[in-house]
Structure 1
Amino acid sequence: MTTSSILSQRMPRVDALTGLRWYAAFFVFGYHMLVFAPLPGPVTSFLHQGFFGVTFFFVLSGFVLTWSASDRVSQSTFYWRRFARVWPASIVALVFAIPVFYSFSPDPADTWVKPVSVGILALSIVLLQGWSLNPTILFSGNPAAWTLTCEAFFYALHPYISKILNPLKVRGSLIFVGSIVVVMFGYRLLAATFPDSLFSAVPFPAVRATEFAIGMGVAWAFRRGWRPRVPVTVGMGSIVLALGAIVLIPHYGPGSKAAWFVSSFANELVTVACALSILAIASASIAGRPSLLAAKVHVRLGEWSYAFYLVHATFIYIALDVFGLQPASWRNLAWYALLLAAGLAGAAALHHFVEKPVEKRLRAWKDSRDLRLVANS
């Protein structure tokens, strides 16, 4: 089968992966809740790993964009659709976040509140803040939105990485994935070995592009007909195993080589586990096997996950400002439920009144413009 015939095919939607997006977003929510309402015991150690939900998003993004790629979509249209998908909701969330995270006072009372800087906020508007490692800039505007800088960079790279992948068959695609994994671990080894070198100063979008590329390579192998027989329990279990190792080995074997390894290569281990879980779930879904993750409630939550990701931290910091840091207690689960409900309500509103309708209008405008250009050519 030629590349053209592959890219002309309309690939089936994998709803189970949409459902899984919600749990990645919920994991990030649990991580951010620790600044306001920590839980007692080892649960907190597990929730401290919640930022790895972002790693899952990056791998999944590469997979989904490559799985759904079509030769009927021009490069300019691809870029416009990505802009329409991401930017409008991010701007509304930014406007909502600024009063919570910024003050006109030169010395704000709360440690998370920053003095207003028009120049720095402007970087957030154009999604460039993530190219800085300075926390004031990196977490500027809506603090969670630094990941959108990474996504914007990945979108820019996608057509060019696709040109590398498109001629490859299954074997070549898997070699591509293996090569990126080697590069990913190799870079981390250099950064861990030489912590004060330029290796540790590479901005996040460039470093995290390997996660996106791995997702792309796995998706292209699927489009070439690869159907690995990896049980979903193994795929999901690999994430649990990776997170368990990251938490438990340094705790029970501090100073050991194993502790150094899992601490130094934590993100790389989770990346591989995320790729394994995605390929297991995608393989099962394409084979027609049912999944609870494909249930309507999970799919709906997955569709809201981007909006939820954008607004949840703002609600948490509002609660922190009003009620102050809560002592570690299981009673804080009530706060988790309350702020989860608030975040979901905000996410639903953002999704249904901004994200989807504005995306639809922007896409329609571009499609109409392209048709006029074709008609006039």
Structure 2
Amino acid sequence: MDRTQQAAALPGARALAPQLDALTGLRGLAAWYVVLFHTRVTLKATVGPMVYGFLSHGYLAVDLFFILSGFVLWHSCADNPAYRGARGMARFWLRRIARIWPLHMVLLGGFVALVGMLAATGRDIAFYRWGELPLHVLLMQNWGMTIGLMWNEPAWSISCEWAAYLLFPFTVMAAPWRNWSTGALVLLGCGLLAGLWAYFALHGSDDYLGFEIQRTGLMRCLLEFWTGNVLRMLWARWRDVPDICTGAWAAMIALLEGGVVLHLPEASYVPGVFAALILALSLEDRTPARLLRSGPLHWLGEISYSTYLSHFLLFIVFKMLFVGPDLTVGLGKLGLFLMIVLAASAALYRLVEKPAQRWLLRRGEARLAA
């Protein structure tokens, strides 16, 4: 059964248009950018300053995730009658929680076990606040109720996305979006990106989107997620219009070059670069999109959630076992770690993520049908 047939077999599901498969490969590359970002300090003595500088910006891949998630979710769910009404909203939330929560709990359990072992051997575990653990279980740890990132730190973005998912049905119902003109949607998208810049400027750090994540991460996610929603609305109107794809590539290059050359604040141009990139890839059928749709890259995208959530715990354990006090990792050890992450991602996807998702959906759909 291919992916289109699988999608059709699910109540209310909608397969991605073939050209949108490139976005799955893009998600896979973004997940590995985050992995390399979290290994960068141990590589500082090994790689040159240019490579280290590139790796140091890996946190920006999360902004790509947020916009991409908003785009794909609007495509899959916004016009779907299976998600209308009270029961439809419950079905939507069921599918979202079945997608993100089981693997999150497995990795959180891994951290609890690790911290327990550290405590048993007399290590300092003061950093891990047990009182905040219930917020992590409920995926509310980055809703402004904690003082910092802890436990499985990358899961902060999943917490924020869960908030976006909870709001999504109300976003769909908030306005008659189909009646909005294309110009109005463009202005709305630009307004959301400008609002993100203003939000970070007001918080005193528009040049660093990773600033005080526990305080700014939620709004960062929501504004970028909603930008992705608007981007998908525009895609529906532009997908058959000649030269829009070329314009999107040109806009991406202009924003990126202008931002770098003029040393503009991150918040003023990076999300716009990602929005233009997603639009360009979703509209074209040339080499970049074809590469991202290829088997290996598409597979990396399929297992990217497991990669993103598991690598942080794996790296902590890897450093404890293989890295000395100087915290230096050579390219050989880096290669070993990346292979471990890849193998673990594939195993978690196959043995945890998908089976748990199917189990929760079966039970949840049965309750909804009762």
Fold match by TM threshold 0.5: yes
Distance of 2:292 and 2:220 partners within structure 1: 30
**Cα contact 1:31–1:48 (8 A) shared by 2:** yes
C-alpha distance in 2 between matches for 1:267 and 1:241:
15
Q: State the 1:235 CA deviation.
A: 6.9
Structure 1 residue 12, shift from structure 2 partner: 1.6
Matches within 5 A, 1:8-157: 12-13=17-18, 14-38=20-44, 39-69=47-77, 70-73=80-83, 74-100=88-114, 103-104=118-119, 108-109=123-124, 113-114=125-126, 117-132=129-144, 138-157=148-167
Moved more, 266-275 or 217-226: 217-226
Alignment match of 2:192 (pick from 164, 167, 180): 180
* Long gaps (5+) in structure 1: 1-6, 250-257, 373-377
2:154 partner letter: A
Matched, 1:221 2:234: yes
How far is 1:127 from its partner? 1.1
Q: How does 1:1-377 map to 2 (within 5 A)?
A: 12-13=17-18, 14-38=20-44, 39-69=47-77, 70-73=80-83, 74-100=88-114, 103-104=118-119, 108-109=123-124, 113-114=125-126, 117-132=129-144, 138-163=148-173, 164=175, 165-192=177-204, 202-226=215-239, 227=241, 228-230=244-246, 234=250, 237=253, 241=257, 245=260, 258-259=262-263, 262=264, 265-285=265-285, 291-322=290-321, 323-324=323-324, 332-372=330-370
Letter in 2 for 1:363: L
Q: Distance in 2 between matches of 1:8 and 1:351?
A: 20
Q: Classify the secondary structure of the residue corresponding to 1:127.
A: coil
Give secondary structure in 1 for the equivalent of 2:203. helix
Alpha-carbon distance in structure 2 between the residues aligned to 1:12 and 1:315: 35
Residue 168 of structure 2 aligns to which amino acid in structure 1? H
Distance in 2 separating the partners of 1:52 and 1:194: 13
Kept in 2, the 8 Å contact 1:129–1:138? The answer is no
- Work out whether residues 235 and 276 of structure 1, in 8 Å CA contact, stay in contact via their aligned partners in 2: yes
Task: Describe the SS at the equivalent of 2:41.
Answer: coil
Distance 2:277 2:140 in 1: 30
Q: Kindly tell me: are residues 118 and 192 of structure 1, through their superposed partners in 2, closer, same or farther at Cα, counting changes over 3 Å?
A: closer
Q: Deviations over 1:276-326 (max 9, x none)?
A: 0000000115x9996110001111110111100011111211122222355
Looking at structure 2, the residues matched to 208 and 336 of structure 1 have their Cα atoms a distance apart, in angstroms, of 30
Q: Return the alpha-carbon distance in structure 2 between the equivalents of residues 305 and 9 of structure 1.
A: 20
Change (3 A) 1:324 1:179: same
Q: 1:183 to 1:306 in 2, by over 3 A?
A: same
| TM-score, normalised relative to structure 2 | 0.81
Give the AA of the match of 2:104: S
Q: TM-score, normalised by structure 1?
A: 0.79
Instruction: Report how far residue 71 of structure 1 moved.
Output: 2.3
Residues 119/327 of structure 1: CA separation in 2 closer, same or farther (3 Å cut): closer
C-alpha distance in structure 2 between counterparts of 1:202 and 1:151, whole Å: 15
Structure 1 CA distance, aligned partners of 2:109 and 2:192? 37
Residue 95 of structure 1 deviates from its aligned partner by 1.4
Shift of 1:223: 2.5
Contact 1:18 1:294 in 2 (8 A): yes
For the Cα contact (< 8 Å) 2:200–2:267, is it kept in 1?
Answer: no
Greater mean alpha carbon deviation, residues 93-102 or residues 214-223: 93-102
Give the root-mean-square deviation of aligned CA atoms: 3.3
* Matched pairs, number: 339
- CA pair 166-127 structure 1, distance change in 2 beyond 3 A: farther
Measure the CA separation in 2 of the matches of 1:96 and 1:193. Answer: 34
Distance 1:354 1:222 in 2: 34
- 1:8 Cα shift? 10
**Partner residue, 1:252:** none
SS in 2 for 1:139: coil
